[in-house]
Amino acid sequence: MIYTFPPAPSAAVPIEGSEALFPVRRIWCVGRNYAEHALEMGGDPDREPPFFFGKPADAIVPTGGELPYPLATQDLHHEVELAVGLRSGGSGLSVEQAGAAVFGCAVALDMTRRDLQSEAKRLARPWDMGKAFDRSCPIGAFRPCPGAPPTKGAIRLTINGEVRQSGDLHALIWPIADTLAALSQLVELAAGDVILTGTPAGVGPVRRGDQLRAECDAAPALEVRYA
pLDDT tens for each residue of 92-113: 999 999 999 999 999 999 999 9
- pLDDT at residue 36, as a whole number: 73
pLDDT band at 43 (very low <50, low <70, confident <90, very high): low
Contact 93, 137 (CB under 8 A): no
pLDDT band at 219 (very low <50, low <70, confident <90, very high): very high
Contact 38, 166 (CB under 8 A): no
Contact 154, 168 (CB under 8 A): yes
Among residues 158, 148, 63, 68, the alpha carbon closest in space to that of 107 is found at 63
- pLDDT at residue 48, as a whole number: 74
Burial of 219 (C-beta count, 10 Å sphere; 0-12/13-18/19+): buried
HSE on the CB side for 144, CA within 13 Å? 9
Give the mean pLDDT of 158-178: 96
> Which CATH superfamily includes the segment(s) 18-226?
Fumarylacetoacetase-like, C-terminal domain (3.90.850.10)
pLDDT band at 41 (very low <50, low <70, confident <90, very high): low
Contact 181, 74 (CB under 8 A): no
User: How far is residue 184's CA from residue 179's CA, in Å, rounded to a whole number?
Assistant: 9
Contact 13, 219 (CB under 8 A): no
Among residues 163, 138, 161, the alpha carbon closest in space to that of 219 is found at 138
1 or 139: which leads in pLDDT: 139
The pLDDT of residue 157 is above 90: yes
Q: Please give the backbone phi and psi of residue 180, each rounded to the nearest 5 degrees, phi first.
A: -65, -40
The pLDDT of residue 120 is above 90: yes
The pLDDT of residue 131 is above 90: yes
Give the mean pLDDT of 173-181: 96
Report the SS3 class of residue 95. Answer: helix
Which residues, in sequence order, are bridge partners of residue 137?
A: 60
Q: What percent of the chain has pLDDT over 90?
A: 92
Q: What percent of the chain has pLDDT over 70?
A: 95
Q: Where are the domains of the chain?
A: 18-226
Report the SS3 class of residue 149. Answer: coil
Among residues 226, 64, 81, the alpha carbon closest in space to that of 138 is found at 64
- pLDDT at residue 35, as a whole number: 72
Average pLDDT, the chain: 95
User: How far is residue 25's CA from residue 146's CA, in Å, rounded to a whole number?
Assistant: 18
Give the mean pLDDT of 153-174: 97
User: How far is residue 171's CA from residue 188's CA, in Å, rounded to a whole number?
Assistant: 27
Give the mean pLDDT of 38-42: 59
The pLDDT of residue 87 is above 80: yes
- pLDDT at residue 39, as a whole number: 57
